[in-house]
Chain A
Amino acid sequence: MSQAAVAAHGAEVHHEELGFWRRYVFSTDHKTIGRQFLFLGLVMMLLGGILALLVRWELGWPETRVPLMGWVPEPFMYDGYMGPEFYNAVFTMHATIMIFFAVMPILVGGFGNFLIPLMIGARDMAFPFLNMLSFWVAVVAGVIMLAGFFVPGGHAATGWTAYAPLSAVPTYSGVDWGQNLWCLSLIVLGISSLMGSINYITTVVNMRAPGMTFFRLPLVIWSLFIVAILLLLALPVLTAALGMLLFDRMAGTSFFLPEGGGEPLLWQHLFWFFGHPEVYILILPAMGVASEILPVFARKPIFGYRAMAYSMIAIAFLSWIVWGHHMFQSGMNPTLGSTFMITTMLIAVPSAIKTFNWLGTLWGGDIHFTTPMLNALAFVSMFVIGGLSGIYMASTPVDIFIHDTYFIVAHIHYVVFGGSVFAIFAAVYYWFPKMFGRMMNETLGKIHFWLTFVAFNCTFFPMHILGVGGHMRRIYNPLQYEFLKPLQPINEFISISAICLGIAQIPFIVNFFWSLAFGRKAERNPWKANTLEWDAPSPPPHGNFESIPTVYRGPYEYSSPLVPEDWLPQTRRLAPERAAAATVS
């Protein structure tokens, strides 16, 4: 399609009236698809959160009646009491849902879809139909996953890591169709992500507006672009592994079963070859979001733009050669463990670079504490804790002790909740005006932030202590162990904090829906930001821009001496003489 045809197409679509179904349900508009992914992810996050509270209840007050859960039928719960089988399914599904159906859909599916065309100055994705398909395939995956709760034998109960042979032989875990559906769902979800990632890569490479060079891309686009490449390369490995697992379960192939000549550790290698890039799939977009929001509210260019982009590339590259750090104690050749330790230690370096660059961005700034900014700042400081705790586990001898303890659980949550989820909140508060054309309420936003921040730390920081005390993960009743009994008050404290953390989300839900309907109408550029999405109306119409913008500079020209105001949009053309005058005056 020629440039003129694209423009004509955009203008024509702008006026075309689409029916309800094409507009809201089977839409090919990247913005609608982005919003759909966001809703899907938020709903699933709520479900995942409820499952987490069940886990916490069990650990805080083991083998007692769970309040409000009397309605769950046998054999899952017995008049509100849960058994170990159900407990295992609950934490398995908590992690599965949070990782695959909440954080990934929101950050990659939701914001990826919404932001990529808008921020590179395109009218839509390269393959709008494929994009729509990718959302609906994800819905199918979600339905299959949820169906697992209702099959006899219950849902998958082998952890989100599904280590074989436990996961490969139905009698070992006592779960039959639950685990099959779990595999099937993730295979289908993998197809959805593949479609999405091909789309993202093509769009970023081919559809950038005139003047939008790679080094003028906003960092969040860099992060999503890198994530798409990671997805493209990592997910097929998981899909293949899941296929093999299904064959082992249903066709007697024994890929992972030693009796039939298979190898249990093969599953772990395949899983973590996917799994470690996966954790970076969860965090890179979050880093991108923080890199977007900090400059806007510090009114300052990002510190070390190129270092930020290169360090994300370095992280992506290194993430392929560290997977063995999940297997130090697995029986893998211990000498190989040392190699993986060194690569793992190295991946802390680009993480450190990013942190210091964020600090550099704040230095000398003009900092406005809006709700998106507070959440972005929380992201930075919580990511620091999560990154530092990774170093303990990267050290192989220390990992001997803390592997499979609550220390790992603390680490995971500092990076995935403290990192990714705070970034999700930051992104929702920041882009809500563009997505829905209305502002969110700042007061409610701040209440939500502070309650969440405090409750989050009370919930997850003490888990480091449990881990240091040797508390294993994935156990149903810590009181079965003498050496864990002194830790029980900490478990109770954590569970109470977790309940508070859940309650702290109510202001967010209220704010979200209230603002959707009654929020103050948003102007085009409420935050006075530079990137292209703020050049489009709020919310942008089908086709996004009145005319395709031309880009003159990088995305972070805040407080530039060239202009009197403290922002300088990427699209604003400065006449050379005016620029000169501005510096003189």
Chain B
Amino acid sequence: MLRWLPENVSTYGEKIDGIFYLIYYITGATFVLVTALLVAFLVLYRHRPGRKAVYTHGNTALEITWTIVPAVIMVVLGLVSKARWDEVKVDIPRGDIQVRVTGKQFNWEILYPGPDGKFDTEDDLQIDNDLHVPVGKVVRVALRSKDVIHSFFLPHLRLKQDTVPGREILTWFEATKPGTYEIPCAELCGFGHSGMKGTLYVHTPEDYARWVAEKWPAQQARLGTKSEAEARG
């Protein structure tokens, strides 16, 4: 079933998929066990004339076993999950690239801070629905909403985060493979919810530099030095 997962192109996506597979095996085994027992009992103990059912009210040892075993599995799963969760949603790295994404009915406004790396300054650039990032860089996304709740969904990067009007929510990703990927909105946001989508362009470093040069021709030189400095630091 899990082969239907969209190709993963983010750093943490693989680890998320790992837990997905782990749960898949645990629940798959449980399902097979329970169903096999069920079917076996139905066949073995179907009504036959002259046979009476076993008279028993339970078995404490068995019952304790099937309480403890699931509890232990669940707690372990919880701990494994927590580590991954913290990595994606709690410990947000500073990021090599910053963007601000604002959901509105029914578009994603993508705001680039420009070469100065600061939002709400002269060199900011806003493009609707197109998010350009370089491959292999940590992208820190500040999510906002203008009207209702939307949800910023990057299926290929295993990222989803609602955008909530009135607050800014930080999230991040690092793409591992150049390409174009869709950014659907995953939270019902009105009649145009279906079809509300943007595009993520993951560029090779050269392509990205070209794109930057095209968008901010004046400051090209400054940007070049900055990103080199960052790469070294």
A residues sitting closer than 8 Å to B (CB atoms) are: 83-85, 87-88, 157-159, 163, 165-166, 172-174, 258-259, 262-265, 298-305, 307, 329-331, 334-335, 337-338, 341-342, 345-346, 348-349, 352-353, 355-357, 359-360, 362-369, 377, 380-381, 384-385, 388-389, 391-392, 395-398, 400-401, 403-405, 464-465, 468-470, 472, 474-477, 480-483, 487, 558-561, 566
Residues of chain A within 8 A (CB-CB) of B2 are: 468
Verify if B37 is at the interface (C-beta below 8 Å from A): yes
Residues of chain B within 8 A (CB-CB) of A363 are: 41, 45, 54
Nearest B-chain residue to A158, judged by Cβ = B188
Q: Which of A264, A397, A403 gathers most chain B CB within 10 Å? A: A397
Residues of chain A within 8 A (CB-CB) of B66 are: 352-353, 356
* Segment from B15-23, B125-133, B210-218, B225-233 that makes contact with A: B15-23
Known A331-B161, A391-B77; contact A483-B194, beta-carbon cutoff 8 A: no
Residues of chain A within 8 A (CB-CB) of B16 are: 397-398, 400-401
Verify if B52 is at the interface (C-beta below 8 Å from A): yes
Residue contact B160 to A329, C-beta cutoff 8 Å: yes
**What's the minimum C-beta distance from A576 to chain B, rounded to whole angstroms?**
19
Residue contact A337 to B165, C-beta cutoff 8 Å: no
The number of A-B residue pairs with CB atoms under 8 Å apart is 279
Q: A329-B160, A349-B67, A381-B35 are in contact. List 8 more A-B contacts (CB 8 A).
A: A331-B163, A364-B53, A381-B38, A392-B27, A401-B155, A405-B186, A470-B5, A472-B153
Residues of chain A within 8 A (CB-CB) of B142 are: none
Residues of chain B within 8 A (CB-CB) of A405 are: 186
Name the interface size band of chain B.
35 or more
Nearest A-chain residue to B195, judged by Cβ = A480
Known A264-B166, A483-B155; contact A476-B55, beta-carbon cutoff 8 A: no
Known A341-B78, A366-B52, A482-B182; contact A477-B162, beta-carbon cutoff 8 A: no
Verify if B84 is at the interface (C-beta below 8 Å from A): yes
Known A172-B105, A366-B52; contact A264-B149, beta-carbon cutoff 8 A: yes
Report the 4 A-B pairs with minimum CB-CB distance, sorted nearest first.
Answer: A258-B166, A364-B54, A476-B194, A470-B155
Task: Give CA–CA (A157, B197) in the complex, Å.
Answer: 20
Known A305-B57, A389-B27, A392-B20; contact A481-B182, beta-carbon cutoff 8 A: yes
Task: Give CA–CA (A542, B53) in the complex, Å.
Answer: 37
Dominant SS among interface residues on chain A: helix
Residues of chain B within 8 A (CB-CB) of A338 are: 82, 85-86
Nearest A-chain residue to B158, judged by Cβ = A401
Among candidates A353, A384, A480, residue contacting B197 with C-beta atoms closer than 8 Å: A480
Known A173-B190, A304-B57, A403-B186; contact A331-B105, beta-carbon cutoff 8 A: no
**What's the minimum C-beta distance from B50 to chain A, rounded to whole angstroms?**
10
Residue contact B164 to A265, C-beta cutoff 8 Å: yes
Residues of chain B within 8 A (CB-CB) of A404 are: 151, 153, 160, 186-187
Residue contact B57 to A301, C-beta cutoff 8 Å: yes
Chain A to chain B contacts (Cβ below 8 Å), 18 pairs: A158-B188, A298-B45, A301-B56, A303-B58, A307-B63, A353-B63, A356-B66, A362-B42, A363-B45, A366-B48, A366-B51, A388-B27, A396-B84, A397-B81, A400-B16, A404-B187, A464-B1, A560-B55
Residues of chain A within 8 A (CB-CB) of B177 are: none
B residues sitting closer than 8 Å to A (CB atoms) are: 1-2, 4-6, 15-16, 19-20, 23, 26-27, 30-31, 34-35, 37-38, 41-42, 45-48, 51-59, 62-63, 66-67, 70-71, 74-75, 77-78, 81-82, 84-86, 88-90, 105, 147-149, 151, 153, 155-156, 158-167, 169, 181-182, 184-195, 197
**What's the minimum C-beta distance from A309 to chain B, rounded to whole angstroms?**
12
Residue contact A329 to B162, C-beta cutoff 8 Å: yes
Task: Give CA–CA (A377, B159) in the complex, Å.
Answer: 38
Nearest A-chain residue to B34, judged by Cβ = A384
Among candidates B1, B15, B46, B194, residue contacting A369 with C-beta atoms closer than 8 Å: B46
**What's the minimum C-beta distance from A487 to chain B, rounded to whole angstroms?**
8
Residues of chain B within 8 A (CB-CB) of A560 are: 55
Known A303-B56, A331-B164; contact A362-B75, beta-carbon cutoff 8 A: no
Residues of chain B within 8 A (CB-CB) of A360 are: 58-59, 62
Residues of chain A within 8 A (CB-CB) of B31 are: 384-385, 388
Residues of chain B within 8 A (CB-CB) of A472 are: 153, 184-186
Residue contact B41 to A337, C-beta cutoff 8 Å: no
Among candidates B47, B77, B190, B192, residue contacting A345 with C-beta atoms closer than 8 Å: B77
**What's the minimum C-beta distance from B175 to chain A, rounded to whole angstroms?**
15
Task: Give CA–CA (A483, B155) in the complex, Å.
Answer: 9
Residues of chain A within 8 A (CB-CB) of B34 are: 355, 359, 381, 384
Residue contact B165 to A348, C-beta cutoff 8 Å: no
Residue contact B191 to A157, C-beta cutoff 8 Å: yes
Residue contact A364 to B56, C-beta cutoff 8 Å: yes
Task: Give CA–CA (A561, B77) in the complex, Å.
Answer: 45
Residues of chain B within 8 A (CB-CB) of A475 are: 184, 193-195
Known A403-B160, A405-B186; contact A392-B54, beta-carbon cutoff 8 A: no
**What's the minimum C-beta distance from B51 to chain A, rounded to whole angstroms?**
6
Among candidates A88, A330, A468, residue contacting B164 with C-beta atoms closer than 8 Å: A330
**What's the minimum C-beta distance from B197 to chain A, rounded to whole angstroms?**
7
**What's the minimum C-beta distance from A161 to chain B, rounded to whole angstroms?**
9
Residue contact B149 to A165, C-beta cutoff 8 Å: yes
Residue contact A559 to B52, C-beta cutoff 8 Å: yes
Among candidates B77, B156, B197, residue contacting A395 with C-beta atoms closer than 8 Å: B77
Task: Give CA–CA (A163, B189) in the complex, Å.
Answer: 9
Nearest B-chain residue to A556, judged by Cβ = B57
Residues of chain A within 8 A (CB-CB) of B105 are: 172
Residue contact A396 to B71, C-beta cutoff 8 Å: no
Residues of chain B within 8 A (CB-CB) of A345 are: 74-75, 77-78
Known A307-B58, A401-B158, A404-B151; contact A362-B41, beta-carbon cutoff 8 A: yes
Residues of chain B within 8 A (CB-CB) of A367 are: 41-42, 45-47
Known A363-B41, A363-B45, A391-B23; contact A331-B67, beta-carbon cutoff 8 A: no
**What's the minimum C-beta distance from B193 to chain A, rounded to whole angstroms?**
7
Among candidates A163, A304, A469, A482, residue contacting B4 with C-beta atoms closer than 8 Å: A469
Residue contact A166 to B55, C-beta cutoff 8 Å: no
**What's the minimum C-beta distance from B162 to chain A, rounded to whole angstroms?**
5
**What's the minimum C-beta distance from A51 to chain B, rounded to whole angstroms?**
16
Residues of chain A within 8 A (CB-CB) of B165 are: 165, 258, 264
Task: Give CA–CA (A482, B27) in the complex, Å.
Answer: 31
Residues of chain A within 8 A (CB-CB) of B166 are: 258-259, 262-264
